[in-house]
């Protein structure tokens, strides 16, 4: 058995076809450049490689100055959101085989946040909006002695979709409103507010609805659905925002 | 002082950089690629454009109508200027813009208020275009006959 497995592993490495893929990356070095510039790289890749692997190959073998964020590299940490071929995606979840490699792959930083270097943007404004919606459980009552806070399956289901957020900023930086109005809370902050507004154990929903019932809150949303399409976790972001809008109009979640 | 040293660093290093600048691919804007949003984004873009156009039309329309209070002769002159073929074609555009803005407005209302509206937004977008086409097929031939038929 074990020899068969070994052979099975050894054989395909010779036959797996690799492709030369051109990546055009929008680079910016604040110490040298006054404006971002495009630079192309040719990389040898397999169909099963991801855009992140391509960036690694460039950084490790061609140009060590290429700068980007990544941590887990498996779609959990949300560090490597970037604009790939004009759409926000996670570099670690975008397979080369899903892209058209007969054309160059364009990679650039996410839009709407201050560009710091190459593919890195300043995420502080994004996290400030996140902090502003109080993304934590607020409860003034103690749970029954010796028990946890009870929640029915149906109540948990109510906000299940918005618990999946990894704060990668792909949604917020895909929003045309956010590009031009940095004061807008943005989809990610509203998603994380939604996660607690509709949590039956939470007692600060009114406060969060008050915060979002603002010119720069949920009413800035123009339902372009860019956020729902950009979300690497498949969260129905626009639906969540619509639910918060409804909750504000009803005055309760 | 720190600024100066950063500048010196930049001056000392650019040998490899300069080459990179030269191989800039043609036709790429410095501002980055256009975001490739889908139906939702383009409906929003069109809604904005048609909305602003209709606003300016209404502004002009209120002004020319108000003219009748000042001088009926001037009003007649302005209205006469509207009876030209160019204005007739412009009216096709106006009806098209109002038609899209109205139908897409209904779509947005459904997205906001209908519980499954967000799920069907793409279908509704194409439905808007179907209804808009029906409207324009009904309006345009009849209108052009009036404009060019004399």
Nearest chain B residue to A105, by CA: B33
Q: What pLDDT is recorded for position A90?
A: 97
What's the confidence (pLDDT) of residue A64?
Answer: 95
Rounded to an integer, the average pLDDT of B46-59 is: 96
Q: Which domains does chain B have, with CATH numbers?
A: 39-147 (1.20.1300.10)
pTM here is 0.84
pLDDT at B11: 40
Lowest-pLDDT range of A6-15, A56-65, A181-190, B43-52 = A6-15
Say if residue A225 is exposed, middle or buried (CB neighbours under 10 Å; 0-12, 13-18, 19+): buried
Q: Determine, for residues A224 and B40 on separate chains, whether the beta-carbon distance falls below 8 Å.
A: yes
Long-range CB pairs of A176-181, under 8 A, 24+ apart, other chains included = A176/A222, A176/A224, A176/A226, A176/B35, A176/B37, A176/B41, A176/B44, A176/B45, A177/A220, A177/A221, A177/A222, A177/A224, A178/A112, A179/A111, A179/A112, A181/A216, A181/A220
| pLDDT of amino acid B3 | 40
Q: Single out the residue of B48, B129, B92 nearest to residue A176, CA to CA.
A: B48
Could you report the per-residue pLDDT of A1-40, keeping only the tens digit for each? 444 555 555 555 567 899 999 999 999 999 999 999 999 9
Q: How far apart are CA A168 and CA A126, in angstroms?
A: 10
Rg (CA), chain B: 26
Query: A97 to chain B nearest CA, in Å?
Result: 19
The mean-pLDDT minimum among A195-199, B21-25, B52-56 falls in: B21-25
What percent of chain A stands above pLDDT 90? Answer: 87
Q: Do B33 and A245 touch (CB under 8 A)?
A: no
Q: In a mutagenesis test of the B interface, which of A38, A175, A180 is the best target, namely the one with the most B β-carbons within 10 Å? A: A38
User: In this prediction, does ipTM exceed 0.90?
Assistant: no
Which of B8, B18, B20 should we substitute to test contact with A (largest number of A Cβ atoms within 10 Å)?
A: B20
Query: Which of B17, B43, B112 minimises the CB distance to A245?
Result: B112
**Which of B24, B36, B41 shows the shortest C-beta gap to A224?**
B41
Residue with tokens 């058995």, as numbered in its chain: A1
User: Quick check: A44 pLDDT over 60?
Assistant: yes
* Class of residue A244 by CB neighbours under 10 A (exposed 0-12, middle 13-18, buried 19+): buried
Question: Which tens digit of pLDDT belongs to each residue from A123-157?
Answer: 999 999 999 999 999 999 888 888 889 999 999 99
Mean pLDDT of A194-216: 94
């Amino acid at each position: 058995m074990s020899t068969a497995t070994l052979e099975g592993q050894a054989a395909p490495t010779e036959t797996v076809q690799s492709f030369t893929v051109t990546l055009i990356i929008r680079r910016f070095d604040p110490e040298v450049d006054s404006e971002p510039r495009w630079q192309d790289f040719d990389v040898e890749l397999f169909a099963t490689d991801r855009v992140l692997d391509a960036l690694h190959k460039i950084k490790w073998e061609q140009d060590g100055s290429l700068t980007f964020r990544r941590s887990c590299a498996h779609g959990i940490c949300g560090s490597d959101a970037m604009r790939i071929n004009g759409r926000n995606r996670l570099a670690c979840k975008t397979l080369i085989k899903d892209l058209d490699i007969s054309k160059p792959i364009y990679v650039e930083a996410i839009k709407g946040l201050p560009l710091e270097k190459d593919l890195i943007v300043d995420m502080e404004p994004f996290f400030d909006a996140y902090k502003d919606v109080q993304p934590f459980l607020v409860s003034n009552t103690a749970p029954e002695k010796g028990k946890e806070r009870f929640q029915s399956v149906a109540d948990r289901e109510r906000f299940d979709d918005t618990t999946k957020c990894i704060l990668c900023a792909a949604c917020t930086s895909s929003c045309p409103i956010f590009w031009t109005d940095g004061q807008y809370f943005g989809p990610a902050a509203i998603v994380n507010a939604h996660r607690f507004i509709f949590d039956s154990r939470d007692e600060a929903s009114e406060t969060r609805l008050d915060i979002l019932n603002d010119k720069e809150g949920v009413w800035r949303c123009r339902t372009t659905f860019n956020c729902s399409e950009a979300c690497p976790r498949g969260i129905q972001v626009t639906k969540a925002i619509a639910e918060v809008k409804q909750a504000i109009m009803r005055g309760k979640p | 002082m720190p600024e100066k040293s950063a500048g010196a660093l930049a001056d000392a290093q650019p040998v490899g950089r300069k080459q990179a600048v030269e191989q800039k691919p043609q036709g790429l804007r410095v501002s980055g690629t256009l975001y490739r949003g889908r139906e939702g984004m383009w409906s929003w873009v069109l809604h904005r454009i048609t909305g602003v156009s209709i606003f300016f039309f209404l502004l002009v329309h209120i002004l020319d109508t108000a003219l009748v209070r000042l001088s009926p002769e001037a009003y007649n002159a302005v209205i006469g200027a509207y009876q030209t073929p160019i204005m007739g074609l412009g009216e096709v555009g106006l009806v098209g813009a109002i038609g899209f803005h109205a139908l897409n407005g209904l779509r947005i209302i459904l997205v906001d208020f209908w519980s499954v509206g967000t799920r069907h937004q793409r279908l509704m977008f194409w439905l808007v275009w179907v209804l808009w086409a029906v409207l324009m097929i009904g309006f345009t031939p009849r209108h052009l006959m009036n404009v060019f038929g004399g």
